[in-house]
Structure 1
């Protein structure tokens, strides 16, 4: 009877699970958004003149961190992003038409309509920025066409800024609130370009090579110098930390492989390489924990509970979404750990090495070393992965939320969720429980592969399966060799913390 119930729960859980996985094929990756954020930061940094610094030093710093032609590179990035998002939006609109007009008598839009509206706002912003890049590359006709498309098909805010930019570009009468519109609708380098053009018009500065000396121009120039210098510092942090860590990681990989090749028995990689765990339960218990403690609550129970609660998820503020992410993940983790505890109560005391948690220097070294090794491996795999999926395949929604946030409370909530709660829960389930349980039936190496594959698939985005599989394999390798759950938790926490730090730096750009 128990197996019949488990089988039913498995089938019920697999339906939304597989639908979510397949559905991610049609969703854009957050990678495009990350690339645009990095492009924005590059454009800001390229505006630095280094007036308070020696010319040679400033030139060397810019050459080291910036591309030779950042505006041309940015133009290509924005053209690609515009095409990808336009294609995605067209697909959503076709889907919306196919489904028919939803009932909006309660004053609320359907979830699909909300997604379309939000993506339209993003597309408007991308096109506005694209037009400014085209203008700087002396492609004025293309820039005007790009802005006119926003004026015709965009949302109200996009139409306002498009009208201002078209008026500036064609030398027409400028709206009295043009400066306010530019200030509220544009950011960073794009705001600077639009304001510079506006101030030149207001100061009657006609010739392109004529310097604008009005107070507004002077203040803007000082602002650009300060902000672009800060952008250079952010770029230095963004590039130097992964490069330094990745370089050390490459050396570690080479050293470990050489040590293993020259003396396999005494090599670090050979430590506990074939030592299995003594697992006193059968596959049915493992199945029960995964289905009842993880898949069924996350795929069936949680969506039902959220659907019943009067939560306007689409209209939540960023802080509200942060608390929602923390609450839902905390609920899943609590249920999962509770089911695990109850499922194993008949087998206590557990055999040696089960759920070992030893806070010592060795745990820290294994965790840090594993993180450094994972850096170059995941980066290489991610580059290949990008070519495979071409911007599609979905991404963790937390990445996009963290990128948009510059609120310290929101960031603290995301950090606790991603760098503390997620590593502890996921390492206990996938490395602490699943991997050792699989060694009852498979060699340690196969158990690492299988648990890593399930770990990757459980994140429900096909584009992330390959990178997460590699990360999961390193996590499994660290845990099986160290026999200390704290080691893999440290590695997992470092990985998520590094990702959040990068998103914070990019979001600030």
Structure 2
């Protein structure tokens, strides 16, 4: 199977995982269990994408990956750097669009998490794993072999931003661009998965402990 087909399979699987919880909730009248369904499908989706990604042919960014120690170091450092990028992008977003610093998407998830704590698994583990494999690995990594990496990063980050659907396009795009840079620097998705998951965990704990 070519890299193009492997990446297409990854993206298609991700889209199916996004749609299935709502589809099942509507079909089987399980709307009150929507967050439980989301968590289950997200965890299964993350596991499936990890398997697909493991079997995927290396793209042009992964030919010379950094040593494991460097990957872990950058992954942990990237947690704080991603948060810094988010704060700076939030300032720019407010200056240009007058958007509130609070994300409706995040507030909705955090409110639900107080009543349904298992949702933390979807937010801090499943979502970062899937998003890194899809947006950084399949889209940015896949496109980098055929077009300029900067354009590939911009396309990947714009799609990543649009996916979150809460109006903070600059914030999510900036985070996406930083994670693309981190992926290119280390040649490993594990770096960005650590950074993304760690950032989500810190944001989640901050909201829940307020």
TM-score range, shorter chain: 0.7 to 0.9
Equivalent position to 1:306, from 25, 28, 44: 25
1:359 Cα shift? 8.2
Q: What is the alpha-carbon distance in structure 2 between the residues aligned to residue 430 and residue 355 of structure 1?
A: 19
Q: What is the alpha-carbon distance in structure 1 between the residues aligned to residue 108 and residue 63 of structure 2?
A: 33
1:451 Cα shift? 1.1
Q: Is the 8 A contact 1:326 1:414 kept in 2?
A: yes
- In structure 2, list runs of 5 or more residues that go unmatched: none
Aligned position for 2:36: 323
With the length of structure 1 as denominator, give the TM-score of the two structures: 0.36
Q: Is the 8 A contact 1:286 1:437 kept in 2?
A: yes
Aligned position for 1:294: 14
Aligned position for 1:476: 180
Show CA shifts across 1:243-277 (max 9, x none): xxxxxxxxxxxxxxxxxxxxxxxxxxxxxxxxxxx
1:350 Cα shift? 4.7
Equivalent position to 1:399, from 98, 107, 113: 107
Equivalent position to 1:424, from 87, 110, 129: 129
Aligned position for 1:370: 78
Matches within 5 A, 1:30-69: none
Q: Is the 8 A contact 2:66 2:186 kept in 1?
A: no
1:365 Cα shift? 1.5
Q: What is the alpha-carbon distance in structure 2 between the residues aligned to residue 390 and residue 470 of structure 1?
A: 15
1:491 Cα shift? 0.4
Aligned position for 2:69: 361
Query: Does 2:61 align with 1:341?
Result: no
Q: What is the alpha-carbon distance in structure 2 between the residues aligned to residue 471 and residue 442 of structure 1?
A: 21
1:492 Cα shift? 0.2
Change (3 A) 1:350 1:417: same
Q: Is the 8 A contact 1:359 1:486 kept in 2?
A: no
Q: How many residues align?
A: 208
Q: Is the 8 A contact 2:60 2:141 kept in 1?
A: no
1:360 Cα shift? 3.0
- In structure 1, list runs of 5 or more residues that go unmatched: 1-279
Change (3 A) 1:323 1:288: closer
Q: Higher RCO, 1 or 2 (CA under 8 Å, sep at least 6)?
A: 2
Q: What is the alpha-carbon distance in structure 2 between the residues aligned to residue 356 and residue 304 of structure 1?
A: 41
Q: Give the number of the structure whose alpha-carbon radius of gyration is greater.
A: 1
Q: What is the alpha-carbon distance in structure 2 between the residues aligned to residue 393 and residue 372 of structure 1?
A: 19
Show CA shifts across 1:297-356 (max 9, x none): 534x54333211121x2xx3xxx5542331242355466x29x839x97xx765686599
With the length of structure 2 as denominator, give the TM-score of the two structures: 0.78
Equivalent position to 1:494, from 190, 198, 203: 198
Q: Is the 8 A contact 2:10 2:52 kept in 1?
A: no
